[in-house]
Amino acid sequence: MKLEVISRPQLDANAINRFLEAEGMNWRHTAGATPAEELVELAGRICYMSFGKRQSPKTNAEYIANLVEMGHESVLEHVCWTFVLVGVSRAFTHQLVRHRVGFAFSQLSQQYHDETDAEFIEPAYLSQYPTARAAWLDAMQVSKASYRKILDSLAEMENKHKAQIDKREIRRAIKSVARSVLPNATESKIVVTANARALRYFLRVRGTIPGDLEMREIAAAMLTAVSADAPALFADFSIDHWPDGPVIIFRGKNQAESNSLG
Ligand SMILES: Cc1cc2nc3c(=O)[nH]c(=O)nc-3n(C[C@H](O)[C@H](O)[C@H](O)COP(=O)(O)OP(=O)(O)OC[C@H]3O[C@@H](n4cnc5c(N)ncnc54)[C@H](O)[C@@H]3O)c2cc1C
């Protein structure tokens, strides 16, 4: 699995200063606060216009911790990251795309992309069980061979239907038939955009599941990436290590909910 952050939060300091000047307000910044952290603080402060004399002595991290504690989490939605994930299984991406709120996805299409050379992501623990692994490897091979055979056998569909159906759609239909034999282990690539609030929820419910190492590894990689950009937004999360791999520990509110799912 490889995760890259391809887009991260940034601020336009000049535009912010123009806004503050027009409002006659002065904002005391916390030294070292990151663009993501400042964006959340700014959005929160605009709700109450708590600048200048109305600004409390709280640091940026304290201000954000207070927002989260109060449940005023919509301000966290202004901050987004975009990741590209490669070397992940379709089993994982199917679970990922169930997250409907605050996420956007763009995934490699099996209807357009030829999967003849697709890789398969070996599930965790299989390497310790040779008999199971041999059965798994056989199944992958059969699936790949069947995929190719179906594509080749259906190639004639293109000529047969070209008068009635657009060529592109015939090809889509052929690949749709062929892809139906590909397993959940098939490697996929997916672009994921998520805001900080949605990510916090995702990390809580997905980063703690004992029997899903692939999910835990990806959740931990996401947390590592976003924590580097915005430590204050994820201060109540940390990564621990179980014998098989990473696990996310959440110490904030709703701890019971996350533990019961885990
Ligand atoms: C341990 C575990 C086991 C699971 N097992 C299964 C399973 O066996 N079968 C299965 O199908 N799925 C399963 N899921 C997936 C799960 O049901 C969710 O689809 C997935 O986790 C996304 O969560 P969500 O809907 O809360 O997230 P999102 O869609 O991102 O929603 C975030 C939050 O917004 C609110 N929300 C979103 N949509 C609505 C709505 N329409 N109405 C009201 N409130 C809304 C809710 O508060 C929700 O929690 C499992 C998930 C976990 C973590």
pLDDT for res 196: 98
Structure tokens at 168: 């592109």
CA–CA gap between residue 255 and residue 237 (Å, rounded): 11
CA of 125 to the centre of ligand 1 (A): 27
Largest Cα separation within the chain, whole Å, is: 77
Closest ligand 1 atom, residue 206 Cα: 53
Residues lining ligand 1, judged by CB closer than 6 Å?
A: 98-101, 201, 205-206, 209, 261
pLDDT in tens, 26-72: 999 999 999 999 999 999 999 999 999 999 999 999 999 999 999 99
Supply the pTM of this predicted model: 0.94
pLDDT for res 254: 63
CA of 82 to the centre of ligand 1 (A): 21
CA of 198 to the centre of ligand 1 (A): 12
Structure tokens at 150: 């179906």
For the annotated catalytic residues, the residue numbers are 206
CA of 40 to the centre of ligand 1 (A): 26
Closest ligand 1 atom, residue 102 Cα: 30
95, 100, 259, best to mutate for ligand 1 pocket (most atoms within 8 Å of CB): 100
205, 214, 259, 261, best to mutate for ligand 1 pocket (most atoms within 8 Å of CB): 205
pLDDT for res 258: 40
94, 97, 99, 206, best to mutate for ligand 1 pocket (most atoms within 8 Å of CB): 99
Closest ligand 1 atom, residue 212 Cα: 1
Parts of the chain with a pLDDT under 70: 254-262
Least Cα distance to 107 among 77, 83, 142 occurs for 83
Residue nearest to atom 7 of ligand 1 (CA): 95
CA of 243 to the centre of ligand 1 (A): 28
